[in-house]
């Protein structure tokens, strides 16, 4: 078993996807990501995410820890409370969070996601 390195350079060879049109508040944001590690239970994931500037609606079903390695984001909850983060800030978004994600500038971040598996 080896330790998984997280390169700080921009992602290469990944596809960029547009944010779903019905979620966009402003801009024409696109995003890409690469999962570098997933747990055997498939409940824990870690990787790198990048997006262009723009603002869109979000609903978190997972808990996420982020460290910005580039850029500026503003998260605004449904009550209208905004929080700004700039690289190299770190923050956690709890499961159940609803609001908007605004990439004020292009963003790159390391992420760690925990999403409890659903019971069958």
Read off the pLDDT of residues 19-36 as tens digits, 9 standing for 90 and up: 999 999 999 999 999 999
Reported as a pLDDT band with limits 50, 70 and 90, residue 55 is very high
Instruction: Determine how many CB atoms are found less than 10 A away from the CB of residue 105.
Output: 12
Establish if 9 belongs to a structural domain: no
Strand, coil or helix: 40: coil
In the numeric block, the tokens 């609001």 are attached to 99
pLDDT per residue as tens digits for the range 95-119: 999 999 999 999 999 999 999 877 5
Establish if 65 belongs to a structural domain: yes
Establish if 2 belongs to a structural domain: no
In the numeric block, the tokens 């923050």 are attached to 91
CATH number reported for the structural domain that contains residue 79 in this entry:
2.60.120.10
End-to-end CA distance of the chain: 31
The answer to whether residues 52 and 89 touch, using CB atoms and an 8 Å cutoff, is: no
Residue 8 predicted with pLDDT over 90: no
Establish if 43 belongs to a structural domain: yes
């Amino acid at each position: 078993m080896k330790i998984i390195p997280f390169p700080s350079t921009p992602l290469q060879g990944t596809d960029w996807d547009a944010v779903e049109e019905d979620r966009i508040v402003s801009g024409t944001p696109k995003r890409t990501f690469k999962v570098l590690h997933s747990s055997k239970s498939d409940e824990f994931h870690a990787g790198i995410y990048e997006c262009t500037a723009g603002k869109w609606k979000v609903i978190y079903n997972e808990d996420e820890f982020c460290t910005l390695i580039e850029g500026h984001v503003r998260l605004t909850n449904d009550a209208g409370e905004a929080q700004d983060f700039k690289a190299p800030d770190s923050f956690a978004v709890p499961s159940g969070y609803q609001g908007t994600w605004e990439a004020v500038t292009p963003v790159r971040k390391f992420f760690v996601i925990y999403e409890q598996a659903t019971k069958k």
